[in-house]
Structure 1
Amino acid sequence: ILEAGKRYGLKPKIHADEIVQFGGAELAAKVGAVSADHLLQASDEGIKQMAKNGVIAVLLPGTAFFLMEKPANARKMIEAGVPVALSTDRNPGSSPTESLPFIMNLACLTMKMTPAEVLTACTINAAHAIGKADEVGSIEVGKKGDLVLFDAPNYQTLQYNYAVNLVDTVIKKGQVIVEGGALRDVPVPTT
């Protein structure tokens, strides 16, 4: 499978060390995975190897919250040089939320990430984790015109006010689809 992936330019993504430590972080580093997801039980050696091999840690704080488990050690990963991304894990068995703002709150409160780290984890690092950083994840010339504007005095407010929808405007492919917090009656651009 790994050879076929190399032939077609595909990099593996690994579901790793969620419930028990089984060497998933180490395996992700060994096979050159683009990311390892979950990592609640990642070992120190696994974190070190992920940093050395540029594996992105996709952390899912909603899973730890819902399962009442200790969250992934984001601080240790960031300090070791592992790029961290965040996601909801939208999974009815372990993380039944679709709310990225809630995940952002949890990352600050339970994983001790700073608001700036959380914003990076939800934008450019998340784009890298899916191999799309050349298209999305930051505001740059040549990237898709996707943008969310929040009704907030600063970016720290996004993580401070939990369970509050602060979205004011959503722009997808350069087209405004949410304005003043309300969905506009326009076709939503695909992909």
Structure 2
Amino acid sequence: MKRYVWTLFGAVIVAGISLATWAGASNQGNKEALNAYKKMEQARNQENKFLNESSNNFTLSDFSIPGALLSEADKISKYKGSNVHELLTAHDEKLSFIMEGDEVKGIAIATDTEPIMAGGEKTGPELFDLHEKIKNDLGDNVNIMYFSYAGGFVFVATDNKGEESLWLDQRAARFLELSPHVQLDSEEVLQQIRNNINQ
């Protein structure tokens, strides 16, 4: 009996170590992106001791937004539906916010294992506010993902009724000639994307 108990106990320990190792690896991309941002800030502010020390206070938000890839132009042009989700392919990049206390300093985009980018002093606060606005308007249980478009970001929100809406940041809205930071119908955005494809 004792041998069985110790064997089981050993398996639990091994499983715990494996899980901790996996969790550490799965956060490696975010950690490296954050460290890259800290180094950028230290280099930029190396003559200002106070700012240089403040870079140690940067953290990542306790949530992230999953990313997706928009289909190629040919598929979008032929698509007859109005649901943008059907034109998206999920991938393993996620967007997190770089924080200093309660202040948004930028964004970090990373996979579980690889950093993609870190920065966005203007983009970070804008996207954070947009994310909060979507949750305020549609409820905390809204599902949000993003895709990049024309150097900007488009948030795709699905509420608890399964209804989809799109929300654009300033850059994507300017390119698509639509309003930023407001709830938009998917078909309206798709039509503007098609118009750009056909120009």
Larger CA Rg, structure 1 vs 2 = 2
Q: TM-score, normalised by structure 1?
A: 0.27
Q: Give 1 or 2: higher strand fraction.
A: 2
